[in-house]
Amino acid sequence: MTDNIYQAPEAVLEREEETVEQEFYVVSGTKFLVLMIGTFGLYEVYWFYRHWKNYSVCHNESMWPVMRAIFSVFFAHSLSSRIDASLKAADKQYRWSPKLLATVFVVFTVVGQIADRISGSTSELSAVDLVSLGAFPAIVWCLYRIQVAANIACDDPQADSNTTFTPANYAWLALGVAIWGLIIFGFYAAYSGVV
């Protein structure tokens, strides 16, 4: 302490180490599948957001992760290509076809959305209603394969760093149960003629 009573106190100005984010979002296969299926695909928006957010922080790139998540059909190829480039740069082996997976994801997403719009215009149960449900497993499979590649690229193939469910995960799953209930009720009502 100094004798000058008018001197401002000295502060320790050591900089804390910043936590380095993984290049991509890491999540275990089980957690990914439970959240994707349990929320009937709503998790997909957050999933894309986290991948783009991590990538932008890691590479110090200016991008809008929220927009890339909302308009994921336009950015799926870019994400899978960047994950593949990261795998190749680190000389990590993973047999996959990033462009094919992204293309299948985009096609089934667009087909599912079109089928939803068509089926929403009629109150009767038809084959069109089943198209969007049939597209869902293909979408989940494509994103799961991309996630496995991202985990490998981030040196966490089993995703040990993100296996537990958080309270937010449970809240989204509760919303997903409500969505699944409405879907099942809608099919039952349309099939039985209740509505």
- The answer to whether 51 touches 150, Cβ cutoff 8 Å, is yes
Q: How many CB atoms lie within 10 A of CB 176?
A: 20
Checking 130-136 for CB contacts under 8 A at 24+ apart, the result is 135/108, 135/109, 135/111, 136/40, 136/41, 136/112
Q: Per residue in 55-87, pLDDT tens?
A: 999 999 999 999 999 999 999 999 999 999 999
- The answer to whether 28 touches 163, Cβ cutoff 8 Å, is yes
The verdict on residue 181 lying in a domain is no
The verdict on residue 169 lying in a domain is no
pLDDT for 29: 95
pLDDT range class, residue 23, cuts 50, 70, 90: very high
- Confidence check: pLDDT of 17 > 50: no
The verdict on residue 173 lying in a domain is no
More confident residue, 22 or 108: 108
pLDDT for 195: 60
- Confidence check: pLDDT of 179 > 50: yes
Q: Per residue in 113-165, pLDDT tens?
A: 998 888 776 666 677 778 888 899 999 999 999 999 999 999 999 999 999 99
Q: Per residue in 28-40, pLDDT tens?
A: 999 999 999 999 9
The verdict on residue 135 lying in a domain is yes
The verdict on residue 44 lying in a domain is yes
- Confidence check: pLDDT of 177 > 90: yes
Distance of alpha carbon 36 from alpha carbon 39, whole angstroms: 6
The verdict on residue 38 lying in a domain is yes
Q: Look up the domain containing 69 and give its range.
A: 29-162
The verdict on residue 92 lying in a domain is yes
Q: What's the structural domain count of the chain?
A: 1
- Confidence check: pLDDT of 190 > 90: no
The verdict on residue 194 lying in a domain is no
